[in-house]
Amino acid sequence: MGLLSGKKAVIFGVANDKSIAWAIAQAFKRKGAELALTYANETVAKRVRPLAESIGAELVLPCDVRSDAEIKTVFGEIGQAWGGFDILVHSIAFANKEELKGSFLNTTREGFAMALDISAYSLVALVKEAAPLMQGRGGSVLTMTYYGAQKVFPNYNVMGVAKAALEACVRYLAEALGPDGTRINAISAGPLKTLAAAGVGGFNQIAGHVEEKAPLRSNITQEDVAGAALYLCSSLARGVTGDIHFVDSGYNIIGL
């Protein structure tokens, strides 16, 4: 019996085979979970569908998280297919490239609104529709954050503000979901070479600094994050909610 045998998991945010969400999907499948994956548009779908097929994902559905109507539709389809489910993974973030270089003073109103909507509010919107399908199942919600939510990193700019909002949402949602027995946590992962990271100016320098200064003297892998996700979404973490769990080789404890 796998750690997630009999569990059903819905994963938002698989973009390609380097995605954190993809590593999580693979780990969940190995441990017995049934999977549903979503994609934002047809361009992404061309990459996601073959990946989903390779692990036997039962449902592969379109969902632009900027649309409440699409969110309602996707959970309606999941409800019809499964009745309910146990795990929701939110691995979604976006800011315009122009907002991720230079001074934070150059942040535009439009760029700020977009980053907060897609990177933070989308979690609230997904959980709102997912909650009735997860009620009473002892389920788990998981999202992805970064230390730039708590400390200033060069060029991270509005994404740091969006991740700070995301972390606050985790705490407030933990209180809102708790009475129904559903938990929610976030993983704060160290720098990883993903599609999202490619848009952050100076990423390689940040990753090099972390590798040099972190207690473990190494950067993490997608599989390291997936391992922590397994723990947080399983019964092993049944007493854990509202937490920001660092997977960063210990970098967050270092002062200088």
The predicted pLDDT at position 58 comes to: 83
Which candidate in 146, 147, 231, 251 is catalytic?
146
The predicted pLDDT at position 82 comes to: 98
CA distance 256 to 253: 9
Look up the CATH architecture of domain 8-248. Answer: 3-Layer(aba) Sandwich (3.40)
CA distance 101 to 96: 10
Query: What interhelical angle do 20-30 and 222-233 show, nearest 10?
Result: 50
For the chain, the domains span 8-248
Q: Which residues pair with 232 in a beta bridge?
A: none
Q: Which residues pair with 36 in a beta bridge?
A: 10, 59
CA distance 159 to 115: 7
Could you give the angle at the alpha carbon of 102 between the alpha carbons of 92 and 217, nearest 5°? 65
Q: Helix or strand or coil: residue 152?
A: coil
The predicted pLDDT at position 198 comes to: 62
Site of tokens 């995605």: 19
Each of the 256 residues of the chain gets a pLDDT tens digit; together they read 699 999 999 999 999 999 999 999 999 999 999 999 999 999 999 999 999 999 999 899 999 999 999 999 999 999 999 999 999 999 999 999 999 999 999 999 999 999 999 999 999 999 999 999 999 999 999 999 999 999 999 999 999 999 999 999 999 999 999 999 999 999 999 998 776 666 666 778 888 989 999 999 999 999 999 999 999 999 999 999 999 999 999 999 999 7
Nearest of 187, 219, 192 to residue 203 by alpha carbon = 192
Q: Is 156 a catalytic residue?
A: yes
The predicted pLDDT at position 197 comes to: 65
The predicted pLDDT at position 194 comes to: 73
φ/ψ (deg, to 5) at 59: -125, 130
CA distance 111 to 152: 18
The predicted pLDDT at position 63 comes to: 98
The predicted pLDDT at position 193 comes to: 76
The predicted pLDDT at position 195 comes to: 62
The predicted pLDDT at position 205 comes to: 86
Q: Is 251 a catalytic residue?
A: no
Helix (H) or strand (E) holding 84: none
Which candidate in 39, 147, 156, 251 is catalytic?
156
Other CB atoms within 10 Å distance of the CB of residue 208: 13
Q: Does pTM top 0.75 for this prediction?
A: yes
